[in-house]
A and B are shown apart, each in its own frame.
Chain A
Amino acid sequence: MTPNDLALVGPILLPALAALLVILVDLLPGSQRSGGSFLLAVLGAAVSLGYTIHALMHDREGLAFFGTMKIDRMALLITLFVHASALMSLLLSKVYLDRRSDVEQPEYHAFVLTSAAGMAMLAGANDLVNVFLGIELLSIPLYLLVAMRKHQSRSVEAGFKYLLLGAFASAFMLFGAALLYGSSGSTMLTAIPTGIARIGNDTPLAAFGASMLLVGLLFKVAAVPFHMWTPDVYEGAPTPVTAFMATATKAATFAVLLRLAPTLGTALGEEQAANLLGGLAVLTMFVGNLGALQQLNLKRLLAYSSISHAGYLLVGLAALVRAHGSSVEAEAASSIVYYLGAYTAMSLGAFAVAVLIDGGKDREAISDLAGLGKRNPLLAAAMTVFALALAGVPPTAGFFAKYYVFLSAVDAGLIAVAVLGVLASVIGLYYYLRILLTMYVDEPKPGHEATVSRDAMVAAVSLTAVAFVLLLGIVPKGFVEAMALAH
């Protein structure tokens, strides 16, 4: 271990240290009421974010801790999304928690930070041990955060469901990791494909291991058929936690999937792995978009929308696996990272609006948005941008995100998957437009007028998100080039 190792994993250590500080400061006498834990947590998240940006700008990349951590451009970009999401979600929590008295705030803030540390660890993990620990370090605080409103049966039920199914998925992952180690002789992600090729491609052991690992990871990104928990958990969790879960978990888990792509290709065969992932992508896109059509609750709608976005991302992953070794591989990788950045911004923004209209009374129905266009035109405009971006309408980031992913699928020869993906997003258009119709056309039910407080914190979050969604959409080329991953 050298100081350089520590500097490289700074984006992981900083939020972890901040979490410990939050817990320690809470123990000081008289600190309970001052709200100091919030300030400390926001500071911790902001410093982590700043450090990541600094590392990105100065190309602080390399292997750390004997190669078990690989802090490359992809890891840093994903960490950037994770820390931005953590910071935004902490700001949203301030509004959400101040209207409720049933959540223990210092612990809440500490859990958000430790989960972010786990996600950052996952983004840089280059060893199966670190992958597993990262997954657990991101999940366990999330289980707790989901169940944090412990006097609300909905929240507790969601937490319990997530914990049980998550533990099940972890068991699959662990078994898969053990089989992969057994069939390759290494736990290092970069050494596994060569290990499998050397020890023997003819045994199905590696294919078994890779598939089981895949099951655990697909559970975390809410891909069909491991998506059952998503709507209930997203609905039951406190809204800022849902925002964090939906965006940052996806980003961190896709980082691992990107790193595992060569292993998947070697263990399952590139053609089969691409077909498997492509098939799951099509299923996920359709189940997500069709499921969203019937939802009346805004959080459930966003949950199904999140499932469908996992599907679009899987299209990119299928293209990546299939195009292994060609120039399309790098194109597919950067399209996934671009998608994750765009999704983080637009989804966080949509959840910020959900936090605002909730008004401390758990108002989450889509009909509660009625009349928002008249009462708060600015917020309605922001929500319009997010809905259009999620639907994939130009010139927002959502359009280019889908465009690049589908383009790489076509380039990799997965034309059917790309065509079905476009069809699925047309279905998606319907329910995003319904949000707009409700905001601008529908008259609110008496007693259900959107009581929107003007809150600087949420305004800042949604404006930042709007800025990013539009910026990424208007000058996508520059961002894609910045994200071009050295392969």
Chain B
Amino acid sequence: MDPELATTIAFYVFALLAIAGSVGVVANKNPVASAMCLVATFVAVAGLYLTLSATFLAAVQILVYAGAIMVLFLFVIMLLNLSHETFEGISVRRTMGGAIAFAFIFISIGLLWGTGPKPGEAMSVRPGTGLEIGRTFLKDYVFPFEMASLLLLVAMIGAIVLARRPKLVGGDR
């Protein structure tokens, strides 16, 4: 089969899967089912990365998002015993919010339809292999790379500060 055609077919399959998965996340009443739909979306997005020859990114996407983060999600859902989300009914505000969101989506699709690169076209750019990513991180983007580590450190310390019990010395009460 013509590789270009194969890429196009793969793109549409993965893109539809990703959209179906995210609709499933919102539409499901059972949180566990929602989480599983999210896994499907993550895997489909990893597939999209593959069509762009970003192999490393695809692997990381599956390992980190579909693997580690989703396990945490499910863990929390099961720990909190969220069996069923209760549906609070339709209010004017919700309807308006939904209407605006849908209008935004359809206007965007209408405006952007047929513009931009075609599926797989970005392949002509540098391939997103581990080597290339490593080079980019540690050369051009070494500064933001290091600052990102500071960001993660702050977020981690912050989570501990907010979650820990007050110290006895100088604590509240």
Contact = CB atoms under 8 A, between A and B. Distances in A.
Does B associate with A? yes
Interface of A: 1, 5, 9, 12, 16, 19, 23, 32-33, 64-66, 68-69, 101-102, 104, 107, 110-111, 114, 117-118, 121, 127, 129-130, 133-134, 136-137, 140-141, 143-144, 147-148, 150-151, 182-183, 203-205, 208
B143 A130 contact: yes
B76 interface: no
B141 A129 contact: yes
B147 A133 contact: yes
A127 B161 CA distance: 32
Given A1-B143, A107-B158, A137-B147, 8 more contacts: A9-B143, A65-B143, A107-B157, A114-B150, A137-B150, A140-B151, A150-B162, A203-B116
Interface string B149-173: 0110011011001100011011110
B130 interface: no
B112 A208 contact: yes
Majority SS of interface residues in chain B?
helix
Mostly, the A contact residues are helix
A102 B169 contact: no
Contacts of B162: 144, 147, 150
10 contacts: A12-B147, A32-B170, A33-B170, A65-B140, A68-B140, A68-B144, A137-B151, A144-B154, A144-B162, A204-B115
A148 B155 CA distance: 13
B140 A102 contact: no
Nearest to B111: A204
B154 A133 contact: no
Contacts of B140: 65-66, 68
B139 interface: yes
Given A102-B166, A111-B158, A140-B154, A133 B111 contact: no
Interface residues of B, number: 28
Contact of B151 (A65, A136, A148): A136
A68 B143 contact: yes
Contacts of B170: 32-33, 101
B77 interface: no
B148 interface: yes
Contacts of B151: 118, 133, 136-137, 140
A137 B148 CA distance: 8
A102 B172 contact: yes
Contacts of B171: 101-102
A136 B144 CA distance: 11
B147 to A, nearest CB: 5
Contacts of B112: 203-205, 208
Contacts of A137: 147, 150-151, 154
A121 B148 CA distance: 12
A111 B161 CA distance: 11
Contacts of A134: 147
A133 B169 contact: no
Contact of B150 (A1, A33, A117): A117
Contact of B161 (A33, A68, A107): A107
B108 interface: yes
Closest 10 CB pairs of A and B: A144-B158, A203-B115, A65-B143, A102-B172, A204-B111, A107-B161, A133-B144, A66-B140, A137-B151, A114-B154
B2 to A, nearest CB: 25
Nearest to B151: A137
B125 to A, nearest CB: 9
Contacts of B108: 208
B150 A141 contact: no
A381 B64 CA distance: 58
Contacts of A143: 158
Interface core residue of B111, B116, B171 (most chain A CB under 10 Å) = B116
Contacts of B26: none
Contacts of A65: 140, 142-143
B157 A110 contact: yes
B143 A32 contact: no
B138 to A, nearest CB: 9
A96 to B, nearest CB: 15
Contact of A182 (B116, B141, B154, B169): B116
Contact of B111 (A16, A110, A144, A208): A208
Interface in B99-127: 108, 111-112, 115-117
B172 A151 contact: yes
A32 B167 CA distance: 11
A137 B150 CA distance: 8
Contacts of A151: 166, 172
B143 A23 contact: no
Nearest to A16: B150
Given A16-B150, A137-B150, A203-B115, A64 B143 contact: yes
B169 A33 contact: yes
A149 to B, nearest CB: 9
A32 B148 CA distance: 28
Contacts of A101: 170-172
A12 B144 CA distance: 12
Nearest to B138: A1
A150 to B, nearest CB: 6
A337 to B, nearest CB: 24
Nearest to B117: A182
B150 A144 contact: no
Contacts of A12: 147
Contacts of B161: 104, 107, 144, 148
A249 to B, nearest CB: 16
B148 A133 contact: yes
Contact of B155 (A140, A182, A183): A140
Contacts of A33: 169-170
B116 A1 contact: no
Contacts of B147: 12, 16, 117-118, 121, 130, 133-134, 137
A205 B144 contact: no
A290 B173 CA distance: 41
Given A140-B151, A151-B172, A130 B144 contact: yes
